[in-house]
């Protein structure tokens, strides 16, 4: 029993030491390299190790990126401009494994958001550029010549897919868009942009506003109009609730759409054609629906029937397109799975309520029709008077 406890303790200790591994405990560098400084980067399972001589500007680095496969590229870069553009102007070191099993490591100067990381010279001289892949980790080694007495750099790091030995576009998840920050090469102190980048923040705001406006409030407004107006006592309260809900949904959705336009101007090379097209169509249809209220015919008007057909058809089409586009947005943002599950749960609850209310509405309507039919039937036709010849007398002329 004691032996079993000792074995378990040893295994537990090994697991703890493995899980607690950080940049300071890692020593498996090629050619027995040693680094005086290291930094645990806050996103994408990445670490940076370096030796720096400020008097000469020589920066020797090892960039370690874990949790990748042979189908991933990784990159580490210095952006001499600023962190707002992040990618644009970045002086990148790129590495990935080729289909023949060898590693490719090269430099790439990023000039657009649609870059496929073409090989090219950097603003800095680079030497001893190599890369290794083992156990799900890519490590890039290089020595850069920075301007003398440089103390702080803007660093950017990234990963993405590789197809046919060519890098593809990286994900737009928050962990990818936030993978940037400043680094003091002398003190080792690092910092990321407070609250994330403006692009990442705007993407989140855009997603939240559109999900609430188009994807939640709009369906609730339709449910109100569809099922409350069946009850005569709810008239005209259902109409004002419906208008209030749909107007609020339109305003919130319009704000999200405006943020989406700003995102387009911030990332001119990044386009999601399907998501963008549906978004524009939603804006047009939603605007038409709002203005349609201003020309709504009265109940007894001869064109009211056709207006109803138009209003219902466009309304349901807006809901369908909104839900489709929200899920497209989830695929683009790639947030934590719980947020997608929350939205699925909300839509599921609304759908279940709609089904239950639909059944109850038909019950109320059919019962009301039956009652109205009974009231309209003449008493003489119910078999008690006249129909069978007992209650009516013939009229003589």
Are 18 and 66 within 8 A, CB to CB?
Answer: no
- Residue 170 among known ligand-binding residues: no
CA 202 from centre of chain: 11
Task: Of 129, 128, 134, 132, give the one whose Cα is nearest residue 103.
Answer: 132
Are 228 and 241 within 8 A, CB to CB?
Answer: yes
- Residue 242 among known ligand-binding residues: yes
CA 207 from centre of chain: 6
| Annotated binding-site residue numbers | 206, 242, 275, 311
| Annotated binding-site residue numbers for heme b | 206, 242, 275, 311
């Amino acid at each position: 029993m004691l032996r079993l406890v000792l074995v378990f303790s040893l295994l537990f200790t090994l697991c703890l030491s493995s899980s607690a591994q950080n940049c300071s405990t890692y020593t498996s560098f090629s050619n027995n390299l040693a680094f005086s400084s290291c930094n645990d980067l806050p996103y994408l399972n990445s670490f940076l190790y370096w030796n720096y001589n400020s008097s000469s500007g020589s920066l020797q680095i090892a960039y370690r990126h874990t949790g990748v496969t042979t189908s991933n590229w990784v990159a580490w870069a210095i952006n001499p401009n600023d962190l707002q553009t992040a990618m644009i102007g970045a002086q990148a070191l790129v590495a990935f494994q080729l289909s023949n099993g060898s590693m490719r490591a090269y430099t790439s100067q990023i000039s657009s958001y649609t870059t496929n990381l073409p090989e090219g010279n950097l603003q800095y001289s680079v030497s001893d550029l190599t890369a290794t892949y083992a156990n799900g980790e890519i490590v890039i080694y290089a020595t850069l010549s920075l301007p003398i007495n440089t103390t702080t750099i803007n660093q950017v790091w990234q990963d993405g897919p590789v197809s046919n030995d060519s890098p593809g576009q990286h994900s737009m998840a928050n962990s990818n868009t936030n993978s940037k920050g400043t680094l003091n090469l002398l003190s080792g102190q690092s910092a990321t942009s407070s609250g994330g980048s403006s692009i990442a923040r705007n993407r989140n705001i855009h997603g939240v506003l559109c999900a609430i406006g188009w994807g939640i409030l709009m369906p609730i407004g339709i449910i109100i109009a569809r099922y409350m107006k069946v009850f005569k006592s709810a008239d005209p309260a259902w109409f004002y609730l419906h208008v209030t809900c749909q107007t609020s949904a339109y305003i919130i959705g319009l704000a999200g759409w405006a943020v989406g336009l700003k995102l387009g101007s911030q990332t001119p090379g990044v386009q999601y054609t399907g998501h963008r097209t549906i978004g524009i169509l939603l804006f047009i249809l939603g605007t038409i629906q709002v203005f349609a209220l201003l020309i709504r015919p009265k109940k007894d008007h001869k064109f009211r029937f056709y207006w109803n057909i138009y209003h219902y058809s466009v309304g349901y089409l807006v809901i369908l397109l909104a839900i489709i586009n929200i899920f497209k947005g989830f695929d683009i943002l790639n947030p934590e799975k719980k947020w997608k599950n929350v939205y699925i749960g909300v839509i599921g609850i609304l759908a279940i309520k709609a089904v239950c209310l639909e059944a109850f509405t038909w019950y109320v309507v059919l019962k009301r029709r039956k009652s109205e039919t009974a009231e309209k039937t003449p008493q003489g036709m119910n078999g008690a008077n006249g129909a069978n010849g007992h209650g009516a007398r013939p009229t003589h002329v």
